[in-house]
Amino acid sequence: MPSALFRSGLCLLRHGALSVTTLAALAVAQAGPVAAQDADMIQSHGYSYYGDLKYPSDFTHFEYVNPDAPKGGEISFAALGTFDSMNPYSRKGRRGQLSWMMYESLLGDAPSGGAAPADVYGEGYCLLCERLEYPASKDWVIFHMRPEARFSDGTPVTAHDVLFSHNLLLEQGLPSYAAAVKKRIPRAEVIDDHTIKFYFTEGISRRSLIDQVGGVPVWSRKWFEETGARLDESRLETSPGSGPYVVDTVDVNRRIVYRRNPDYWGADLPFNVGRNNFDRIRIEYFGDDTAAFEAFKAGEYTFRSEGDSKIWATSYDFPKVQNGQVRKVELPDGTPPTPSGIVFNLGRDVLKDRRVRQAIALGYNFEWTNESLQYGLFRQRASFTQDTPLMAQGVPEGPELAFLESLGDLVPPEMLSEPALMPHASNPERLTDRRNLRRAMRLLDDAGWAVDDAGQRRNAAGDPLRITFLFNTSAEGTLSAVIENFMSNLKVMGIDAVLEKVDPSQYTLRERDRDYDLVFDSYAAFLGTGTGLMQRYGSEDAAFSLFNPAGLASPLVDAIIEASLLSESTEQEQTTLRALDRALRHEFIMIPVWYNDSYWVSFYDQYEYPDPLPPYALGQLDFWWYNADKAAALRAAGALR
């Protein structure tokens, strides 16, 4: 995910609340990272909504990195499908992998767009800025930038570039992003070449405001004005960035190579110590995962994040694994699992009836799928905040019940009296669970879809119940088998279930246009509140938001998100978000599938990483490093191409 335009996704992991009194107390008690300049003004080297930061202003490096990690070498991985653009900020074209990584923001993040630092929740630290200041009311923020910051072409990064980038996103960026930001950030002004001020709308939550503007990617105004390039166009040419990596070579549909900039201005900042260690990052493109895996075995690329359970369980017995040249490891993942699943397009008339969605869901047999196709390696996901304190459990009670009751008629009565919705159980012994099939049949009958003499479901007008599942051919493999078996169960119900397999280019276009009934997609997990929740789950942008593939538009969900944004304590925030999880599950926008609480990775034994890893990132492109001696041994043995 591009690290700034879609920053609101990352900002779901970066919010909280803290009173002015508590803030001042922290500053005095621990000489903390946020110091109160006076009763109403705060200056800091970083930002969190709570005001507390793990790392003080004189920190030398993040705790989890190896500050002595050597620089050098290459890491390479596979991408599936095709690309025809190096502009990740446009709806047009299919972007190349990591095509956003050259650009930095005022508050920094990881090269691949993840959180930095990756060992804390809800904190951001200055990168292009050296400090920021804001009143306790958070009505505005001023960023004081580092005068030494430079784009890769040697030109300085100024406040004028920041303002230009902010406005460019509003004028030519994704509509859902622009609409959300314009309401909350009405004005920005350059004070001098290295100072910029953002003003925030009165009377709204202060969540996702300072970190939003702090996360905008900064582009060269000079380059855009000289070239006439637009942010909303597909193009292979890239503007100069200020980040540690620059584009080296682009071979369309085959390969992208990024190289570390030897003149990177920020290499010695504490923020970057022990990070950005590889000289080159290479992406090799393949038509499907079968070809990609064979190429990995042959040594054409060196790092693989495995997502296919069949391959993980059965295919890592080749000689290079057996002799130790390739390592296969499971590493802990401290983030909540991505809420992936079979998403319903709620814009389709036939799927607006919850009974139809429930019947279709009963066609998915997790237990049989996991045992028969996925080697029993997964657990079934139930929640949008799975295995976290924000996961709704049982019948609402205490503060959560009181909060839901305060929302009045927006809350369906069953949400107050019944346990949080859990996935149905199925017979693991056979694909078609007859008990669930009977339940599905009754639901379809009740919804007005009767069975005709030929076994086909039809409504009163005689129209067949036809459901189309859009599938990306680059995802062939176990996922394809899972979906095919699911679709076969729908046919048993009398549904005309059609699996449309299309190439990646067609898939991208149709997904953007929501030209599907069902699609395998995901939403964002959340550990805190923020305006990014509205982009993903809110009604206002539901008709066109790329982050809301179901097109969910629920007044109940909107009200809960708004309440979470106005929460005044951690406890209130957690209560509202637990209610949000409960409501999202009740809305039934997707069929939850499986999840894994570990990273499955395999790589040629020339890389090393911190132990333990930080909880919120695997970090292979961020803080892993290259062992030149091990790499030389692999090359001498002929293990790598």
pLDDT at position 2 over 80: no
Nearest to 310 by CA among 431, 482, 473, 471: 482
Mean predicted confidence (pLDDT) in 8-26: 31
What pLDDT, on the 0 to 100 scale, is given for residue 177? 81
What pLDDT, on the 0 to 100 scale, is given for residue 34? 41
Query: Which domains are assigned to the chain?
Result: 7-73+105-227 (3.40.190.10), 343-595 (3.10.105.10)
pLDDT at position 6 over 80: no
98 band by pLDDT with thresholds 50, 70 and 90: very high
The pair of three-digit structure tokens given for residue 553, joined into one six-digit string: 């538009």
Q: What is the 3-state secondary structure (H, E, C) of 49-69?
A: CCCCCCCCCCCCCCCCCCCCC
pLDDT at position 481 over 60: yes
Q: To which H or E segment does residue 508 belong?
A: helix 504-512
Among 73-82, 110-119, 257-266, 301-310, where is mean pLDDT lowest? 110-119
- Single pTM value for the model: 0.84
Among 141-145, 163-167, 392-396, 535-539, where is mean pLDDT lowest? 535-539
- pLDDT tens-digit profile of 366-393? 999 999 999 999 999 999 999 999 999 9
- pLDDT tens-digit profile of 239-256? 999 999 999 999 999 999
pLDDT at position 66 over 90: yes
pLDDT at position 225 over 90: yes
What pLDDT, on the 0 to 100 scale, is given for residue 446? 98
Distance CA 323, CA 546 (A): 45
Q: To which H or E segment does residue 625 belong?
A: strand 625-626
Distance CA 241, CA 445 (A): 58
635 band by pLDDT with thresholds 50, 70 and 90: very high
Among 109-123, 263-277, 515-529, 597-611, where is mean pLDDT lowest? 109-123
pLDDT at position 17 over 70: no
- pLDDT tens-digit profile of 422-450? 999 999 999 999 999 999 999 999 999 99
pLDDT at position 35 over 80: no
462 band by pLDDT with thresholds 50, 70 and 90: very high
518 band by pLDDT with thresholds 50, 70 and 90: very high
Percent of the chain at pLDDT above 90? 83
What pLDDT, on the 0 to 100 scale, is given for residue 33? 38
Distance CA 504, CA 510 (A): 10
- pLDDT tens-digit profile of 551-561? 999 999 999 99
Q: Considering the chain, what is the average pLDDT of its residues?
A: 92
pLDDT at position 14 over 70: no
Mean predicted confidence (pLDDT) in 499-503: 95
Distance CA 534, CA 548 (A): 10
39 band by pLDDT with thresholds 50, 70 and 90: low
pLDDT at position 38 over 60: no
- pLDDT tens-digit profile of 144-165? 999 999 999 999 999 999 999 9
- pLDDT tens-digit profile of 185-207? 999 999 999 999 999 999 999 99
Distance CA 587, CA 535 (A): 17
Q: 272 in helix, strand or coil?
A: helix
Percent of the chain at pLDDT above 70? 94
Mean predicted confidence (pLDDT) in 89-94: 88
Angle in degrees, 0-180, between the axes of helices 570-587 and 555-565, rounded to the nearest 10: 170
What pLDDT, on the 0 to 100 scale, is given for residue 26? 28
According to DSSP, the β-strands at 518-522 and 466-472 are: parallel
Please name the residues in contact with 458: beta carbons below 8 A apart, sequence gap of 6 or more.
Answer: 449, 450, 451, 452, 464, 465
pLDDT at position 227 over 90: yes
pLDDT at position 325 over 50: yes
| Whether the Cβ atoms of residue 226 and residue 172 lie closer than 8 Å to each other | no
The pair of three-digit structure tokens given for residue 603, joined into one six-digit string: 């790589």
Among 92-101, 169-178, 631-640, where is mean pLDDT lowest? 169-178
pLDDT at position 613 over 50: yes
What pLDDT, on the 0 to 100 scale, is given for residue 545? 85
Distance CA 459, CA 26 (A): 65
pLDDT at position 259 over 90: yes
